[in-house]
Structure 1
């Protein structure tokens, strides 16, 4: 294995110059730095991680807390893309990524104990079944730099899509398509859910619309089965909605399957909208109307903010970072005429 001395001899500079170039010191010329980095790659030189940790007081390890209520894990396209871009940016900056678990070998640990055991420089919290769980709160309240995706804590940097703007665009588009009876299956309690609900009701009010309380029901993010059951309840109402907004695109699959099993057509009989913009939903027929979240940018921004907090804590603010979203107009939301809105419901016809 090549050593730092081998690298200094190849480049014709001192060991200290090589060390400064590898560690990003600014008193080394850019050309010298480029030559040293190029030579390091050519001879396969890698800095000794233990020596680097002693010198910099950092381990260059980042923990990712990724717990879900259902065992979707990295099979979930939305979070898989986020974590892939997070990993790409972090490894490009010299950091290794490790998942935080309850078990390390035969030893059971809390999340915080695992962080301490691995001596992580920072932690990214993503896709938690319960952001209010005591163990997760312990990590957030610790001295470890933390970035959170899709939730807000006062003690951590939060990376979120602009959920209020996203729900505003989606709800207004549905209304512009003539819909007045709009149901919303929202996710479980979180800042994301709260902001989407606030925006949903704001847009309804701005358009002079009111909906029955039973049109707004709590589901579970990324759980198509639960959304399917809730959809059936909505369809069984005396006056069912003409459009159902799912909490996310995966859940929208359950909504659409239930509608079809009920003998109804999308969007001729009832419209459906999702949220996230995953590729699977865009392969459906009809193509799903949804809000696209920029998963690549979410992951990159989360890694960037966390590394800034690790390396420059005194100039990196603890704040919320909101990223733009975009409306994807699929064919799952159809146009509704006033005549169609005034038609008796299926159930009342049977009665």
Structure 2
């Protein structure tokens, strides 16, 4: 069979061929124009809207549109106009699935990359460059792999290949591997949870399980903390999530409560002046917001004042500077008012013993023996 005879077997007239070519050309122009207009509209958005996560994902995902995929889709539109005999009709249907499927997979592949980038940027520190950890890279790779595996299995099923047994074997193999590496897999999933939920980041000062320090590295299996003493603490990721983590880096304010004790013999007139004077001392500091000051305890041994203020800056060194200044001013205040901070004098009862014979002891007996020996030697 020569080529002319083979083409005639499709029973395609010249009119049908022209209509198919026009349909393909029109489809190509419409699809290419729609993609171009959509990209231009997204690019013309204001800077504020362009940085919204959804707009950014759409804009960068559409940039992955394949010109070859548009051309093949337009050709398939033209072929669909024709009444093709079997098996070509079925082959065109499979080609439709392959072309659209691979373009959708490309879109999803790009959307995963852009989406994770946007998530890291939005959940990171303001003004700082996005920091990608190993967990973020692993999460991106895992999601992209899932996209392509699903596309491959769906394509095989569309071609008539039975993939049920293959999927079942993958499930059984996955269970066996999960049981064999249960601990490692637990830490791996914990690292993904840390990357997604972000309870802490590199550079945060945290306290967990009685250990305090700065987060140095969050890996796939462990998190490394640099302690205040300089040593490095290595904790498994799963263990980190099982314990309560105190993240001091994310403190915006710091509530301070401290007490001052004075002598209980302080006159009431002077004791009444102390709370207001302490308030004035606290309010002298711009970054300290006064909350309250009260005489909390009246005890036979002391009078106790309780003072509470809010530090507008969570920095620990600045808090200590302010607390030190308040303590010095409080000492000057008590000195000015003549209030003693010493405890109540404790009476000491001394009982004078009456003159009476002292009971003899072993040392006295030894002394008498020594004196007798001296007298004997003198004689």
Which band: TM-score by shorter chain? under 0.3
What TM-score comes out, normalization by structure 2 length? Answer: 0.20
What TM-score comes out, normalization by structure 1 length? Answer: 0.21
- Of the two structures, which has the highest relative contact order with CA contacts closer than 8 Å and spacing of 6 or more? 1
> Going by fraction, where is helix more abundant, 1 or 2?
2
